[in-house]
Each structure stands twice: as structure tokens, then as C-alpha cells.
Amino acid sequence: MLSQLKQTWFFNIRGDVLAGLVVALALIPEALAFAVIAGVDPKVSLYASFSMAVVIAFAGGRPGMISAATGAMALLIVTLVKDHGLQYLLAATLLCGVLQLLVGYFRLAQLMRFVSTSVVTGFVNALAILIFMVQVEELMGGNWHVYAMAAAGLAIVYLLPLVPYLGKVLPSPLVCIVILTLVAVYFGIEVPNVGSKGELPSSLPIFLWPDVPLNFETLAIIFPYSLSLAIVGLLESMMTATIVDDFTDTQSDKNRECKGQGIANLATGLLGGMAGCAVIGQSVINVKSGGRGRLSTLVAGVVLLLMVVFLGPWVSLIPMAALVAVMIMVSIGTFSWSSIVNIKSNPPSSSIVMIATVAVVVYSHNLAYGVLVGVLLSALFFAHKISRLLTVTSSQPIKNARNYQVVGQVFFTSKDQFVAAFDFKEVLQKVSIDVSRAHFWDISAIAALDKVVLSFKREGAEVEIIGLNEASATLVDRFGLHQDAKTTIKLTDQ
């Protein structure tokens, strides 16, 4: 028991504690900014970041990965909060957790392999664009003080890392927030601050049940949001887990992570927090700061809550312009700029999938719709490419006989190409079709094979099929017609 605890929790105490402290500091500005995006009180996102981090430390399948309130999830709940209020958001968070638990128990995480790199890139780019658009809306209508502070914040965020030693020791987003807050307080500058956006937590969270009617009308309202939250949350978590796997040369348990995300969202909903998931940026910060184990995630969550509860009056003085600067940095850092640079050198189909995913998400403000369109387009392009690999050649060894050789995949996309490759008008006594280097995948392919064989027989030729593999032969036995004598006589008599 002690040995197992040491291997999973205490094998890297110093690195995990220090990394957890850094992540806790970095979580505060992002959690506050995501509350603004979602239109909820700051305490809702701060409770969520605390709860998600602490629960996933125990239940998650990827040690060292940070889960919290995220921009992707915040964007999905804007309409729900605006139209129905916080209680429905809490109910949607609980249902999201249930759906993610089901995904984990039915081991559906393996479906992630159907999401191509182009879709993931489009997903990330769209997320960055949406976060940037929200920041622009936040700046609109402000006085010149707001614009000046946002510009100063961006300067601090991007120039501080260039300063020797200090730039590596101090996180620039935190320095940006501290300096701009001190300037605003010292000079008495009247700009919107965190306190003007809602109440900050002054105590530890308590368990509560959402105050909504338990009926089908409530279910009809929250289910679409919960489904989107579950899908987007798992997508972002699985992608983040893959990134952490690559950084640490270790493997994560994807199905356990799905269950862990579900349990974390259930706990978060009961603690009054918004739905969350894994955070790519904070997870990278944790790993690069030396965090490797579950202890780093636990420290990040606990320290975050303690800082917010005991420093709440100071946190409420943070100017919104400082958070805007931080989130603009996050959106710029999230966007995959290489996808734009390489758009001409990448295959056109990959670029189209990426652009379509971005366009659908930005238009609909729903990351799940974009991913669905991207996956469908990827499947269509893949099917089209495979169908082009089908070739049918022929030779005539003796008079009145012809041998056909089929190479490639025969399925619903390539069936017409397969049938068109045969010349049924040629006068022949014997036809052999060599399919030893081909595969028949579906009933469309079997129907095409039937059509070819019966067409030759109708013209009076004897047909022999050579080299049918076991899987294709099983389909032919179950669905093929050309081997049935009665069917052959009936069709050839027509």
C-alpha cells in the first residue's frame, strides 16, 4: 500500500509541489476571464477550477494533467446562462458528468482515433478565434483608460519573458495582473474590475442540489448543452492527455480519464461550479515546471482555493483590462500559426477539413458541430482517396478467353468504377476474375460483383472467380446472388 502510494503520489514531491504552486497562480486569471466569457460570477469558475483539479487528481487517468474551468466549456454555456440562469447551468454540469461516465464505462474513448489531426487543428484554431472575439467585445465601449491598460498589459506579458532571469522566474500573466491592479488602485483609475463582474468566494464551497424542476421540460433544456459539454470536454481532455503523454514519454489511461472527467463534473456541479475539462496550457506549464504526478494537480487545486478565499478583496480589484490582455495572449498562443504557414504545402483535403471545422465553429459558436463536420469531411475525403486506388487490368491468354486482375478496395464509393472496368460486349467463352489482391468490403461491393458475373453469364460466358479472401468470401456467401443457381438462371434468361 505504502509502496503504491509512493509510486503514484510521492515519487516527485519537490517537483510536484513547486509545479502545483505555479499552476495555481496561473489558474486565477484564466478562471476569472472564463467567468466573464460564460457570463457567471467569478466564484462559479473558481469553484470549478478548484473542484476539477482536486477530483481529477484522484480519479483521472493522466497524472500531471490539469483540469479546470476552460474557455471551450465557457463558450458553450453562454446561451444557457443568459436564457435560463445559473441553476440550469449546474444541472447541465451534472448531466454532463453522467454522460462522460457512460462514455468511460462503455470504453468509447477509442472513438477519438476517428478525429484526424486536421480536425484537431481546426478545433484549436476555432477555440482561439472565439476567445479573441470575446475579448474584443469586452473592450468595446470602454474609455481610453481601458485601452491603455490592455496595451500595457500586452506589453508586460510579451516583453517580461525577454528579461534575463526575472523573465524565467516570474510568470508574466501574474506580473501583468499585479502591476495593473496596483496602478489602478494607486491612481484611482475608474475602470471595470473583477468585483464589478460578480461575487468572489469568501468561504469554502458547500454541496448543493440545483434548484430546477425535475421534469422532461428541464431535461429538454439542458440535454443539448450537456451533450455538447461532454463531447467538447472529452475531446479537449483526450487531446491534452496525448500532449502530456508525448512530453513525459508515458501512457495515459483514456477510459479512466473519461470516467474521471465525469466524476469531476458531477462533483463540480454539486459544489456550485461550471463544467470543466483538461486545460492544455496549464497542463503544459505543469509538466514543464517539473510536475509529473497526481500530487501536482492536487496542490494546484487546493492552493488556488486557499488564495482566492483569503485574498478575495484584493482579487476583486483586478482590472478587467488586465484579464483581457492575458486572454489575448492565451488566444494567440493557442492558435496553430503553422497551420496557416503550411496551408499550401499540406494536402488540399487536409486544409479544407481544417478550414471547414474553423468556419462551422466560429459561425455556430459550438465546438461540437465543428468537430462533427470535420470528422464527416475527413471520412468522405478518405473514402474518395481509397476508391482511386482500385485498378482492373486484363489479358487474353487464348482466343475467346480473358483474364481480369483486380487490385484495390471495392466498396460503395468504388463499385461503379469496378463494374465499368469490364467489357461485357466482347464475345468470350470463358472469363476469369483474379481478386487475390482485392477486398470486397460491403454489400454494395457484393452487388457489383454479382452484376459483373451475371452480365458475363447472360452473354454466354463461363465465369470463374479466383483468390477471394476469407472475409470477402463470407460476405459473398451471405449476400451474393451469382452463386445461386436459380437466381443465375432467372437473371440470365432476362
Q: What is the pLDDT of residue 175?
A: 83
Q: What is the pLDDT of residue 493?
A: 56
* Residue 371 domain flag: no
Domain boundary among 350, 377, 405: 350
- For residue 127, give the amino acid letter: L
Cβ neighbour number for residue 141 with a 10 Å cutoff? 7
* Residue 185 domain flag: yes
- Contact, 79 vs 286, CB < 8 A? no
- Contact, 273 vs 51, CB < 8 A? yes
Looking at the structure, do residues 405 and 281 belong to the same domain, yes or no?
A: no
* Residue 42 domain flag: yes
* Residue 384 domain flag: no
Looking at the structure, do residues 337 and 216 belong to the same domain, yes or no?
A: yes
Q: Which of 273, 221, 265, 308 lies closest to 41, judged by CA?
A: 273
d(CA 450, CA 362): 47
Domain boundary among 289, 322, 350: 350
Looking at the structure, do residues 398 and 342 belong to the same domain, yes or no?
A: no
Looking at the structure, do residues 68 and 149 belong to the same domain, yes or no?
A: yes
In which domain, by residue range, is 459 found? 389-491
Q: What is the pLDDT of residue 134?
A: 76
Q: What is the pLDDT of residue 203?
A: 74
d(CA 157, CA 328): 10
Looking at the structure, do residues 154 and 237 belong to the same domain, yes or no?
A: yes
Looking at the structure, do residues 125 and 175 belong to the same domain, yes or no?
A: yes
Q: What is the pLDDT of residue 301?
A: 92
* Residue 170 domain flag: yes
Which cell numbers in the block locate residue 77? Answer: 454555456
- For residue 166, give the amino acid letter: L
* Residue 378 domain flag: no
d(CA 370, CA 360): 5
pLDDT in tens for each of the 494 residues of the chain?
A: 667 777 778 888 888 887 887 788 778 777 877 887 888 888 888 899 999 999 999 999 999 899 999 887 888 888 899 899 899 999 999 999 999 999 988 887 777 778 888 888 888 788 788 878 877 877 887 788 889 999 999 999 889 888 887 777 777 777 888 899 899 999 888 888 877 766 677 777 888 899 899 899 999 999 999 988 998 898 888 878 877 887 788 888 888 999 999 999 999 999 999 999 998 777 877 887 778 889 999 999 998 888 778 877 887 788 888 878 877 887 887 788 888 888 888 888 999 999 999 999 888 877 778 888 998 999 999 988 888 889 999 998 888 899 999 999 999 989 999 999 999 888 888 999 999 999 999 999 999 999 999 999 888 889 999 999 999 999 988 888 877 666 665 655 55
* Residue 323 domain flag: yes
d(CA 168, CA 289): 11
Q: How many independent structural domains does the chain possess?
A: 2
Looking at the structure, do residues 166 and 222 belong to the same domain, yes or no?
A: yes
Looking at the structure, do residues 118 and 206 belong to the same domain, yes or no?
A: yes
Looking at the structure, do residues 62 and 179 belong to the same domain, yes or no?
A: yes
Q: What is the CATH number of the domain that holds 486?
A: 3.30.750.24
d(CA 465, CA 441): 16
Q: What is the pLDDT of residue 55?
A: 95
Instruction: Kindly report whether the global pTM for this prediction surpasses the value 0.85.
Output: no
- Supply the DSSP string of 198-257, one letter for each residue: -PPP-S--------S--SHHHHHHHHHHHHHHHHHHHHHHHHHHHHHHHHHT----HHHH
Looking at the structure, do residues 337 and 428 belong to the same domain, yes or no?
A: no
Q: Which of 319, 318, 315 lies closest to 307, judged by CA?
A: 315
The per-residue b/e assignment along 313-340, b for 16 or more CB within 10 angstroms, e otherwise, is eebbebbbbbbbbbbbbbbeebbbeebe
Q: Which of 437, 436, 423 lies closest to 395, judged by CA?
A: 423
d(CA 31, CA 69): 6
Looking at the structure, do residues 441 and 310 belong to the same domain, yes or no?
A: no
* Residue 379 domain flag: no
In terms of DSSP H, where are the helices of 342-469? 348-364, 367-387, 415-420, 443-458
Looking at the structure, do residues 328 and 436 belong to the same domain, yes or no?
A: no
Q: How far is CA 435 from CA 391, 416, 464, in A?
A: 11, 16, 11
Domain boundary among 328, 350, 372: 350
Q: What is the pLDDT of residue 32?
A: 78
- Contact, 404 vs 431, CB < 8 A? yes
